[in-house]
Structure 1
Amino acid sequence: MDISIKGEENGIGLSKRILQTDNYPIVFLTSNTQTGIVKEASELKPSAFLLKPFNEKELPIAIELAFSNHNKDIITSKKPLLKDSIFVKNGKMFERIKLTDILYIQADGSYSSIKTTSGNYTLSLNLSHFNEEINNGLFIRVHRSYVINLHNITSFDANSILIGDITVPISKQFQETFLEGIKKI
């Protein structure tokens, strides 16, 4: 958002109105480094600032960081995750994934691998942080490396869960929690 956008209001005012609707990541563009302007813009907690003139490589990097940090903020905030979806990076684009389309999430170090009905994605959050804030009854942890979508279970036994043709292990530590979750479906 250009802070000096032409029109009835500047980019800061327009961003305030946008943020009243939903919590979108904002990247401010400006050549104005006056303390008052920067302070006013900073109050909106933008994901990034780009000083003009910027080169063509800086903008995509700022946008990628904005979405990455935005997803982290959503997960680590005390607010619920997005209503019904999340954005994940797929190549150079960010794609919206409906939570109901997620089959399971697997730990991958400080990242999480998301398996959906349409493909695989990587989220730049570890499984613990992701699981802490999802807490919507749709997902449940069944193993230190797996969180599953309860509504996509095909079958299960004492040691594993079948989601389509994929087998996910259940650890003893999470068996009781899993069985309680199944009762709520």
Structure 2
Amino acid sequence: MTGVTLTADQIRNAPAPVREWIEQEVIRSLGLVPRAPTAAATAQAAHLVACSVEDMAGVVEHIRGTFPAVNVLFEFGRPGVNYGQPAVMTFRLMDILHHTRLQQIEQLMTCLEMINKALAEVRKDPSARFCGFDNEGHCLIAPQTQASIAALWQDMMARQQAQQTRANDRIAPAA
């Protein structure tokens, strides 16, 4: 048997899959069973809105002056863990905090509230919710919303690359 010792900084700075694996190994070694989604998570999932690419583009337009909120929004373009009925995608708040380089969870929660408010304005529905939360430190979104954010990101990157190509073509010397 071989043992490995990791510092808290090494664990904190490890890629998300490694941190999740460590978490599962600790849970398993203590003989604990990971808990199923809570009733609160299921109840919150019922109020989440499945957002289209157009919805997400509207949200970006509303929050574009606040870079941290835009950065947080695009974190949800990454694949999350899908579970439950109705299905939801879960993202660990600590992973989002780490990826966005925000300093405090309160900053992250402020960004998520901005996104929720922007969606309510875009949809003209004060009850519309981009995300919800469970008691385990996860943020929940609808799977369609995650797919829409990923598609919007890809579209934005393709447009930016096309603009760069056109700009390069204009300044290239004639042969």
TM-score band, normalised by the shorter chain?
under 0.3
| TM-score (norm: length of structure 2) | 0.23
| TM-score (norm: length of structure 1) | 0.23
Q: Per chain length, whose mean CA-contact separation is higher, i.e. which structure has more relative contact order (CA < 8 Å, sep 6+)?
A: 2
